[in-house]
Structure 1
Amino acid sequence: MNKIQRLDTLLANQIAAGEVVERPASVIKELIENSIDAGSQNITIHIKQGGHELIQVRDDGCGISKEDVVLALSRHATSKISSLSDLEAVRSLGFRGEALASIAAVSRLTLQTKAVGAEIGTEVKAQDNQIEVLPKPVGHPQGTTISVNDIFYNTPARRKFLRGVKTEFNYIATVVRRLALSRFDIDFSLFHNDKQEFVCRKAASDSAKEQRVATILGHEFMANALSIEFEAAGMRLWGWIALPHFTRSQSDMQHTYINGRIIRDKLMTHAMQQAYQDVLFHGRKPAYCIYLNIDPKIVDVNVHPTKHEVRFRNSQLVHQFLFKAVQDALSQVRPADRVAAKVSERVLASENLSESTATTNKNFNAHAKTPTKNINFNPNSQTPTTIDAQYRCTQPVQTEMAVGAAQAVYKDLMSCQQLSMETMTTQMLESEAVEPMVKHALGYAVAQLHDRYIVSQNDLGMVMVDMHAAHERILYERYKKDYQLDHIPKQQLLLPINVNLSAEEVQCIEQHEGLFQQIGLTIDWAGPNEVVLREIPILLKNADMAQLIHDVLADLSTYQNSQRVEEAINQVLGTLACRSAFRNPHKLTLPEMNALLRDIEKTNNSGFCNHGRPTWVQLNFKELDKFFLRGQ
């Protein structure tokens, strides 16, 4: 048997470095976070050979005093906390005092710094976690420059696991971009082999912040993102969440920050996924960049050396806060919001039209908008008195109609009788004489395609609507609202269901016993490790309730919250909505089509059916012109 012995300092430091320094990107993260904590306004990163040869971070922060330079390279030495109370309310990104010592243990490190008010800078070199060159004066501007050469030179086993130059640099660039998203008030510059690869300037205004996000996450993300800001219970959530049609196959575009710190937390990820559940296509991942400001006393960041994981004092409250904020923001998106986002594109495109074309369009619109009254409708007439009259006579179903007239005709989608062409046109003409035209995001219907799709026109161009998907979403939202107003109607079981529990599940159910009553489950104890289920929500009469109980307890154990019962109920309501919606093909009259469009515009989550499929798409003039090579 081998005897227990104390490890030497170098080996202990190299083992500890394995938790902090995984690859060159880990070094970059630790050094940039130190620069941010130092109050830097400009951070410049120089990389050579993907970090294999050189990693250098320079900032203009407060610097390190000459007396503290050597101590800064020691383990568990930091200026950011000095007591347990400081640790419990820490706001700085670093606080463990391990980063520089860990980096120095596996590389050749040079530190140059000049503190505020100092006349000259100081330089110190370390290798194998030992000071190789004592501090000496050096010319250096205010701030700190740390150069890391030959990473893992003394740990060959770690060095051989490094990837190629390009791969390692991609990891570094990803870390720099993520950190650039955390602080909009700092300039970031990244160079690789003396070539500038990335630069971000300070962003003070909202538009400048959006520009930085677009630069890092892509303009497509920002074009499909929804700005969010929500505050409650001492917490503030802000940032950008992508609309449901902009999704990813992986979670590579999910950026979460707590008090400016990069976080990968399963509770927050679960809350975001739950918020998107009603509108997300199966197997897809949402995209977002969100910032949570919270009292540091109720979140523990001292969970892992990398500080990527956190622990909340009240995780259920945080989960519900995130879920509610994001779900409400998504549900309030209307077609008008999505259409408005494309107006600027149309304006820019219009400005590029030639003057002659603009003049022609102006003259045409002057005729087209001329009000016509008392027109004798005759389908066989070949000599209409005006352009507008000809448009109505030859294609009366394309005439725009007022909302009031459409809703008056459309009383019941399933039972409305087909109006004759002449009667319909007469009603539309009379309504226009009384009520002025109203602009709507989805415009007005002009035709029905194979009794499956509604074709409408709006200010931007053409809109295609999937009748079944749109009607399904409308019914689904109505069913959910009606069901919620009934306060979860229950059904008493003729034969109660016994559920055996593990020791962990027993403890969990004791802690959350009141929650089961809130979600419509009446549970009594039948033994020390067994419960009996006596009442359930009426819509779950065909569900596997024993398995559902286990799933709820698993969620409560992990996230302190569960939406399993609500999800199961919504799944039943979604099935009812799907079966009750229009079955293709289904013939609709023009008033029915317009009334359906108006219902879509005022329905929550109306852009997608409850399976995550789009209910409508917009084809603007620019896209339509491409089909016919116009302007080329």
Structure 2
Amino acid sequence: MTIQSGRIGLLCAICSVMLEETNNIRKQSPIRRAIVKLDQKVANRIAAGEVIERPSAIVKELLENSIDASASKIEVFLSDGGKSLIQVKDNGWGMKKWELPLAVCRHATSKLVDNELTKVKTYGFRGEALPSIGASARLKIQSNLRDSDDSWEIFVDNGAIGNIKPSAINLGTVVEVRDLFVATPARLKFLKSDRSETQSIIDIFKKIALANPEIDFSLTDISTIDKAKLIADYKFYPKKNTNSTLVKDPLGEANSQRMKQVFGNDIFENLLPIKFSEPRMTISGYISLPTYSRSNSSHQYFFVNGRPVWDKQLLGALRASYSDFIMRGRYPVTVIFINCPPDLVDANVHPAKTEVRFHDYPSVRSSLISTIKEAIANANTKTSTAVSEKMMEAFKVSSHNQKLGNNIRWNKRTQTLSRKANSSQIHELDYQNALFSDISTKTFQDSSKELIEDSEIVGCDTDKDHDLPLGAPVAHVHQNYIIAQTSKGIIIVDQHAAHERIVYEELKTVWNKSLVTSQALLIPEIVELGEERVSVLLKFRADLDRLGVVLEPFGNKSICLRSLPAILGQVNGSTLVNDLADELLEHKDVSVLEEKIEKIISKIACHGSVRSGRKLNPEEMTALLRKMEGTPYSNQCNHGRPTFVELKLTEIERLFERN
């Protein structure tokens, strides 16, 4: 009885403690607050978090304001990576006295009226940049209205707007930003080093300068007292016509000059111009040769109606354009301008205005891919200067080379060319090996084997070939490399890589012209996808049928997969269908399936082309060179490696110090 009473007492004590804690929680619960309008300073700081992420965002906004003000000269000064000071000077229109306080108020702008939101033609239009900057730092604006004798200035200290005062400047506008995030030190901690922030500013500065070659730009670092460092100085060099009036040509000579200023001649010499035009869209700019690439995408620039953008869909289209020509993990250098009517693109997607949405993206994608591929095809006998530079470096005379030269003993056997090789051996191809046993069918095997045999190398008179792009063969070394003489120097060809591209392009032609063979599944596969994914697959059902994918609806959320392209062999049907659905939802085309098929054709071409170690006679070498000249994209193999390198006669003479 005593034990039972003790237990009851303990339970009562526990219940009492729990009840007290519950009452305390209730007392601490927040009181309901009424909905009120945020204070303007707080609202500006919240908005600034989206617009002003780092110093480079401020530089971008101020540069765009200067351009919208019709400035022809813009100077930028910065200190400590833009954290301590950013100053932008321009010679634009300037502002009136009564406009200055409006300029630092949210959603006040001279660039937009009610019915123009879908037809934005200026860089800025939201009216958020200056008030966001003023909420994050100490902002000073000085301005002189063009053709006016009066200048005025206004100061904003972390959201607090000061009075308008007379100013001493006599042209344009000067915007000065000091002590970024001084009122929100927590945000200051998230900024990177001064060097990293400066590099970010340089990147956005280059983008704006590339899009506006008719404007003079300069960027100066004044972090060190009495020792200013000029980082960039881009001048506009106008072309004069017969009447001595300036010709504004942002996609012609002026653009070329600006490209050379920003990237330098070394990069510019490895770029190809691109041009596409139709009534409602133009694409122009420069792309690098596939053999000239970078280890990251920092040299890829897109501009939509002059606005620099970073769009995932456009980057995806760029990758698809180079998928056949560039090595994995390498990135081309590109500067691409897309222009279209403002009502066909939405620039009001993000406060930073770095993203856009096209009303007809599939059309933009297909036009961009075809334009880039056409430019690369037209340059099929051109290779990058970087390859020649590597050759020059490799050929440099060293003490080791000199010692090696003293020990050379001539062997007559090295001076003869084998003429006994049977050309049919070049195309030995075992389609029964394990590599192709599960990815190719007899129908495709027969057509591809026949095509490879038809491309046998035949004899040709080489005496008349020196003036052709790839010249005439003069030697075959290490049973893999053809040395050819041209009117400008010599060419060294990798026979396997070159023939691989030839076979690949011809196999693709056969594939595109012939009907795709479908392989019916022994047991049709039911794939659950969801209504949206089923709907998009059925919408493109005809295109999928053409590529050998036969499917039928199976309820609202599933499809029945009946056939797959025979060339794919033992592929996971469910995974393929899901990939197709994702691709169709994002890009509205069937490129993912086409890419899978092309990868298999590429693999077949690789194993069906002349191998390294195969001796070629002069007739075979000549025929291979002529075939390369007539094959698109022949300056690199399917994996992106160069098929040939060029060494000009002037470079050879430099090697022997004859110049």
Match of 1:89 among 111, 115, 119: 119
Q: Normalising by structure 2, what TM-score?
A: 0.79
Shift of the alpha carbon at 1:212?
2.0
Residue of structure 2 equivalent to 1:164? 193
The farther-off stretch of 185-194 and 91-100 is: 185-194
Shift of the alpha carbon at 1:340?
11
Residue of structure 1 equivalent to 2:354? 308
Q: Distance in 2 between matches of 1:147 and 1:583?
A: 65
Which amino acid in structure 1 is aligned with residue 134 of structure 2?
A
The answer to whether residue 518 in structure 2 is matched with residue 472 in structure 1 is no
The answer to whether residue 287 in structure 2 is matched with residue 241 in structure 1 is yes
1:154-303 correspondence runs (5 A)? 154-193=183-222, 194-204=228-238, 206-232=252-278, 234-303=280-349
Shift of the alpha carbon at 1:622?
4.4
Q: Distance in 2 between matches of 1:339 and 1:251?
A: 18
Provide closer, same or farther for how the CA distance between residues 41 and 518 of structure 1 changes in structure 2, counting only shifts above 3 A: farther
SS of aligned partner of 1:26? helix
Provide closer, same or farther for how the CA distance between residues 417 and 110 of structure 1 changes in structure 2, counting only shifts above 3 A: closer
Which amino acid in structure 1 is aligned with residue 52 of structure 2?
V
Shift of the alpha carbon at 1:225?
0.6
Deviations 1:506-537, CA, capped at 9 Å, x for gaps: 24324433432343322111233221222333
Q: Distance in 2 between matches of 1:215 and 1:27?
A: 24
**8 Å contact kept, 1:339–1:441:** no
Which amino acid in structure 2 is aligned with residue 321 of structure 1?
S
Q: Distance in 2 between matches of 1:414 and 1:525?
A: 43
The farther-off stretch of 279-288 and 205-214 is: 205-214
**8 Å contact kept, 1:112–1:144:** yes
Provide closer, same or farther for how the CA distance between residues 10 and 476 of structure 1 changes in structure 2, counting only shifts above 3 A: same
Q: Distance in 1 between matches of 2:59 and 2:542?
A: 48
SS of aligned partner of 2:149? coil
SS of aligned partner of 1:605? coil
Which amino acid in structure 1 is aligned with residue 556 of structure 2?
P
**8 Å contact kept, 1:397–1:446:** no
Residue of structure 2 equivalent to 1:390? none
**8 Å contact kept, 1:463–1:618:** yes
Aligned residues: 555
Which amino acid in structure 2 is aligned with residue 142 of structure 1?
L
Match of 2:646 among 608, 611, 618: 618
Residue of structure 1 equivalent to 2:574? 546
Shift of the alpha carbon at 1:486?
1.1
**8 Å contact kept, 2:291–2:383:** no
The answer to whether residue 87 in structure 2 is matched with residue 56 in structure 1 is yes
The farther-off stretch of 122-131 and 598-607 is: 122-131
The farther-off stretch of 226-235 and 260-269 is: 226-235
Provide closer, same or farther for how the CA distance between residues 571 and 50 of structure 1 changes in structure 2, counting only shifts above 3 A: closer
Q: Distance in 1 between matches of 2:608 and 2:259?
A: 42
Gaps of 5+ in 2: 1-28, 223-227, 240-251, 389-413, 419-450
SS of aligned partner of 1:465? strand
**8 Å contact kept, 1:248–1:285:** yes
1:34-49 correspondence runs (5 A)? 34-49=65-80
Shift of the alpha carbon at 1:301?
0.8
The answer to whether residue 585 in structure 2 is matched with residue 563 in structure 1 is no
1:513-524 correspondence runs (5 A)? 513-524=541-552
Provide closer, same or farther for how the CA distance between residues 204 and 342 of structure 1 changes in structure 2, counting only shifts above 3 A: farther
Q: Distance in 1 between matches of 2:480 and 2:454?
A: 18
Shift of the alpha carbon at 1:342?
11
Q: Distance in 2 between matches of 1:226 and 1:76?
A: 42
Shift of the alpha carbon at 1:582?
1.0
Match of 1:108 among 138, 150, 157: 138
**8 Å contact kept, 2:140–2:155:** yes
Residue of structure 2 equivalent to 1:482? 510
Q: Name the % identity.
A: 35
Which amino acid in structure 1 is aligned with residue 267 of structure 2?
F
Which amino acid in structure 2 is aligned with residue 157 of structure 1?
A
Provide closer, same or farther for how the CA distance between residues 101 and 486 of structure 1 changes in structure 2, counting only shifts above 3 A: same
Q: Distance in 2 between matches of 1:416 and 1:316?
A: 36
Deviations 1:531-557, CA, capped at 9 Å, x for gaps: 122233332233333211111111122
SS of aligned partner of 1:440? coil
Residue of structure 1 equivalent to 2:554? 526
Deviations 1:429-471, CA, capped at 9 Å, x for gaps: xx96xxx566111111111112211111112322111111111
**8 Å contact kept, 2:51–2:132:** yes
Deviations 1:403-448, CA, capped at 9 Å, x for gaps: xxxxxxxxx99699999xxxx9xx95xx96xxx5661111111111
Match of 1:320 among 360, 366, 379: 366
Q: Distance in 2 between matches of 1:451 and 1:233?
A: 53
Q: Distance in 2 between matches of 1:440 and 1:545?
A: 49
Which amino acid in structure 2 is aligned with residue 526 of structure 1?
F
Shift of the alpha carbon at 1:120?
1.0
SS of aligned partner of 1:62? coil
Residue of structure 1 equivalent to 2:618? 590
Shift of the alpha carbon at 1:128?
2.2
Shift of the alpha carbon at 1:625?
4.3
The farther-off stretch of 518-527 and 305-314 is: 518-527
Shift of the alpha carbon at 1:489?
3.8
Residue of structure 1 equivalent to 2:42? 11
Q: Distance in 1 between matches of 2:604 and 2:452?
A: 17
Provide closer, same or farther for how the CA distance between residues 274 and 144 of structure 1 changes in structure 2, counting only shifts above 3 A: same
Provide closer, same or farther for how the CA distance between residues 214 and 476 of structure 1 changes in structure 2, counting only shifts above 3 A: same
SS of aligned partner of 1:551? helix
Which amino acid in structure 2 is aligned with residue 555 of structure 1?
E
Residue of structure 1 equivalent to 2:159? 129
Shift of the alpha carbon at 1:78?
0.7
SS of aligned partner of 2:325? coil
Structure 1 vs Structure 2 CA RMSD: 2.8
Shift of the alpha carbon at 1:161?
2.7
Q: Normalising by structure 1, what TM-score?
A: 0.82
SS of aligned partner of 2:614? coil
**8 Å contact kept, 1:418–1:589:** no
**8 Å contact kept, 1:64–1:113:** yes
Which amino acid in structure 2 is aligned with residue 52 of structure 1?
K
SS of aligned partner of 1:66? coil
Q: Distance in 1 between matches of 2:374 and 2:570?
A: 30
SS of aligned partner of 2:563? strand
Which amino acid in structure 1 is aligned with residue 102 of structure 2?
L
Which amino acid in structure 2 is aligned with residue 262 of structure 1?
P
Q: Distance in 2 between matches of 1:560 and 1:444?
A: 47
Provide closer, same or farther for how the CA distance between residues 33 and 110 of structure 1 changes in structure 2, counting only shifts above 3 A: same
**8 Å contact kept, 2:457–2:619:** no
Residue of structure 2 equivalent to 1:349? none
**8 Å contact kept, 1:226–1:242:** yes
SS of aligned partner of 1:97? coil
**8 Å contact kept, 2:151–2:167:** yes
Shift of the alpha carbon at 1:493?
3.9
**8 Å contact kept, 1:229–1:237:** yes
**8 Å contact kept, 1:72–1:100:** yes
Provide closer, same or farther for how the CA distance between residues 528 and 164 of structure 1 changes in structure 2, counting only shifts above 3 A: closer
**8 Å contact kept, 1:76–1:96:** yes
Provide closer, same or farther for how the CA distance between residues 418 and 220 of structure 1 changes in structure 2, counting only shifts above 3 A: closer
1:495-514 correspondence runs (5 A)? 495-514=523-542
Match of 2:106 among 66, 69, 75: 75
Shift of the alpha carbon at 1:104?
0.5
Q: Distance in 2 between matches of 1:54 and 1:482?
A: 62
